[in-house]
């Protein structure tokens, strides 16, 4: 199978390259290739003639999206539209990576794949636009929603928590933002399984369980031997930022689990990540 992987230099893209080594994969990314350039995308896809396009490219700076919603829509909405148009042009399948932030966070239990979307910030709106184009321009597609993912070599929540703990000796972390922490290695492995099924649709691929940012931070500190670092629980109104995240947006894996694709509990995945990055004590 020939695969075109957009965003191959990112946290998820790098892991997907490893997971998809058995296939013929062409990776594209900035600055050489810009998925918001429609003519360029269609010409490239015609040249590669992939069986599957995976879009792991995105503007993931959530606060940056809030500051520049037009740029967010261009990257996260129009970019996927161009890839979907190109996929339709060559008869390819497409997998679009999305986010838990397409939900408003007003639920009291984890969101299922069929729950109504209602994003409350520019990032979520732009990612929902990417879902919308994928669903309406194609019949053979996968939409994979993930949440709070982290990987070695990237700037993400576990790295930041450890960095701040070492620099400041104390932390303040919000308790009223809840999600599904997800190790990118597990997400990439699940995607590699999913694309062999040809069972098209919407999927929630996250490590099992849920945590608040505060609980996530405390587990990072515990596993990394920094449990003595004091962590003050605060609410989001005490933490100023440009974007407003959904307060409660864990994802439930129903559709992939029905295919036998499950991700391990987030605590186990985090422990392995911290061991592999040398942070665990």
Show which residues are catalytic: 123
- Would you say 277 and 206 are in contact if contact means Cβ atoms under 8 Å apart? no
Q: Among residues 66, 43, 62, 50, which one has the least CA distance to residue 8?
A: 50
Q: Among residues 205, 204, 176, which one has the least CA distance to residue 190?
A: 205
The token duo for 56 is 């792991």
The token duo for 103 is 């939900």
Any idea which residue has 């993930």 for tokens? 146
- Would you say 8 and 188 are in contact if contact means Cβ atoms under 8 Å apart? no
> Any residues with CB less than 8 A from the CB of 167 and at least 6 apart, and which?
none
């Amino acid at each position: 199978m020939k695969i075109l992987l957009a965003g191959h230099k990112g946290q998820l893209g790098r892991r997907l390259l490893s997971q998809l080594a058995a296939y013929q994969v062409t990776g594209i990314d900035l600055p050489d290739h810009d998925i918001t350039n429609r003519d360029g995308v269609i010409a490239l896809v015609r040249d590669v003639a992939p069986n599957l396009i995976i879009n792991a490219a995105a503007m993931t700076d959530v606060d940056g999206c809030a500051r520049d919603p037009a740029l967010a829509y261009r990257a996260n909405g129009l970019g996927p539209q161009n890839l979907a148009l190109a996929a339709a042009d060559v008869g390819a399948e497409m997998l679009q990576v999305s986010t838990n932030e397409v939900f408003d966070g007003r639920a009291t239990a984890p969101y299922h794949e069929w729950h109504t979307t209602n994003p409350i910030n520019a990032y979520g709106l732009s990612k929902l636009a990417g879902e919308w184009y994928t669903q309406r321009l194609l019949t053979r597609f996968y939409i994979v929603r993930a949440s709070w993912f982290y990987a070695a070599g990237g700037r993400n929540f576990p790295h930041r928590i450890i960095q701040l703990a070492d620099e400041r000796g104390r932390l303040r972390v919000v308790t009223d933002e809840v999600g599904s922490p997800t190790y990118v290695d597990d997400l990439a492995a699940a995607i590699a399984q999913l694309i062999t099924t040809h069972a098209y649709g919407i999927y929630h691929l996250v490590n099992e369980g849920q945590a608040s940012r505060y609980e996530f931070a405390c587990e990072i500190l515990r596993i990394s031997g920094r449990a003595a670092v004091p962590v003050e629980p605060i609410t989001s109104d005490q933490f100023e930022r440009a974007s407003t995240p959904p307060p409660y947006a864990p994802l439930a894996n129903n559709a992939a689990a029905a295919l036998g694709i499950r991700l391990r509990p987030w605590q186990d995945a985090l422990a392995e990540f911290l061991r592999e990055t040398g942070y665990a004590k």
